Chain A
Amino acid sequence: MNRRVSILLLAVAGTGVTLVYGADPLPSAESILDRYVQVTGGKPAYEKRKTEIAHGTVDFPALGIKGSMTRYAAQPDKYYYTVDIAAIGKMESGVNGTVAWENSAILGPRIKSGVERAEAIREGNMNATVNWRKLYPKVENAGIEVIDGEECYKVIMTPDEGQPVIGYYQKKSGLQVKLSTVASTQMGDIPVEMIASDYKNFGGILEPAKVTQKAGPQEFTMTLDRVEVNPVIPPERFALPDEVRALVDKAAAK
């Protein structure tokens, strides 16, 4: 899964972390990221995937609310993500290659700009896992930390625009078990932490079936149930909703 820092801020870390000073020389960040590609299916498996539709659920246990989640993605840089929660409504976001947008029951229709747009465009890169060199010009292995009793390499990935993303990769399995960053949102910068677990094979690529995300005071879990591999997705799926299109036209007219 190209883990996306998809903030569902309804406005309102679960793992113990211990720094370990290892005696062995650390592998390079590049080799850790390449190994992650390898252990989750390998570059050819990712490159074979041109489109996908992922289906799952979201659960905000503290609020007692649940919803459905669907994510459409197409090579190279298009995605549409929708979360539907009965108590709130629909929250949609997407990237059509150039425009990053959101249309939610909470924040209404809007176009993302600046760092927030840059982050969304990166998330829109369908095979971000393979394309890390393009997305993060600077990567660094910052050492080893123990997460849930497992030694993990801490890799700091720095993009051209936006805050660094820190990935934690198990020394033993090579799998990414945690991501942390500071996400830029219209409401402000928010520290985000995602715990990935329950890796499963979805059409030739290992993806975490469960991702628990903590953003600010709020925690929710995304569960991936099913991934359609290389389905035909009509281009309209990635078209801007009317409300967002109206904002784009309005901005262009200025």
Chain B
Amino acid sequence: MASFQQAVESCKACDGLIIDLRGNPGGIGGMAMGMAGFLVDKPDQRLGTMYLRDSTLKFVVNPRANVYSGPVAVLVDGCSASTSEIFAGGLKDLGRARVFGTRTAAVALPSAFERLPNGDGFQYAVANYISEGGQPLERLGVAPDVVVELTRAALLAGHDAVVDAAMSWIRSQKKP
């Protein structure tokens, strides 16, 4: 989180911010709220809601002291999962980010881990999660605002079409 904070704070004067979550399998759900706090300046916003058997938890976003207010592009692909989806989907639903790439993995249910007697790990879903737009991320994933596929030819030519699309959008947002 400290690295993310440094990156955002060092980019205050940037024309835009690109957050690349391609290939990011997720991690700790709360981190999505923490990161969003550097990008959302309105209070009382949330990324979504987690529904457990005995409680309901809102993924609230508390604006930080120095929020980045420029355009934000989030890059995703089929390997962006779980917390990555919560973050990308929530910011998209809040209208705070434009999402580029391909549909995410659609595996975003909050889960717990247990160590089995034979040493194997066992991961199982413990809750449902509905993104702020009202749709579950599980099975549906996050649909990009701008679908961009990587092509072998472009990669061989040294181009990342998803980054290019995000850069192009950010440039278009620049006020004259």
A residues in contact (CB < 8 Å) with B:
9-12, 61-63, 65, 87-89, 104-110, 186-191, 216-218, 243, 246
- Does B50 contact A108, Cβ atoms closer than 8 Å? no
Are A11 and B33 also in contact (CB < 8 A) when A63-B113, A187-B57, A191-B54 are? yes
- Does A187 contact B54, Cβ atoms closer than 8 Å? no
Distance of A87 Cα from B62 Cα, bound (Å): 20
- Does A105 contact B111, Cβ atoms closer than 8 Å? no
- Does B114 contact A186, Cβ atoms closer than 8 Å? no
Instruction: Give, as a whole number of angstroms, the nearest-CB distance from B98 to chain A.
Output: 23
Partner of B37, one of A61, A108, A216, A246: A108
Partner of A188, one of B2, B30, B58: B58
Chain B residues with CB under 8 A of A9: 30, 57
**Is the interface on chain B under 10, 10 to 19, 20 to 34, or 35 or more residues?**
20 to 34
Q: Count of A-B contacts with CB under 8 A?
A: 90
- Does B1 contact A108, Cβ atoms closer than 8 Å? no
Are A106 and B30 also in contact (CB < 8 A) when A186-B60, A217-B127, A246-B65 are? yes
Distance of A110 Cα from B65 Cα, bound (Å): 11
Partner of B57, one of A106, A108, A188: A188
Residues 12-28 of B at the A interface (beta carbon under 8 Å): 28
B residues in contact (CB < 8 Å) with A:
1-2, 28-31, 33-34, 37, 50, 52, 54-60, 62-65, 110-115, 126-127
Chain A residues with CB under 8 A of B57: 9, 11, 187-188, 190, 216
Instruction: Give, as a whole number of angstroms, the nearest-CB distance from B6 to chain A.
Output: 11
Chain B residues with CB under 8 A of A65: 28
- Does B59 contact A12, Cβ atoms closer than 8 Å? no
21 contacts between A and B (CB under 8 A): A11-B30, A11-B110, A12-B28, A62-B112, A63-B28, A88-B1, A89-B1, A104-B34, A105-B2, A105-B31, A106-B30, A107-B37, A108-B34, A187-B60, A188-B56, A188-B57, A191-B54, A191-B55, A216-B52, A216-B57, A217-B112
- Does B34 contact A109, Cβ atoms closer than 8 Å? no
- Does B55 contact A216, Cβ atoms closer than 8 Å? yes
- Does B56 contact A107, Cβ atoms closer than 8 Å? no
New A-B contacts (8) at CB < 8 Å, excluding given A12-B30, A216-B55: A11-B28, A88-B28, A107-B30, A107-B62, A187-B57, A217-B110, A217-B111, A217-B112
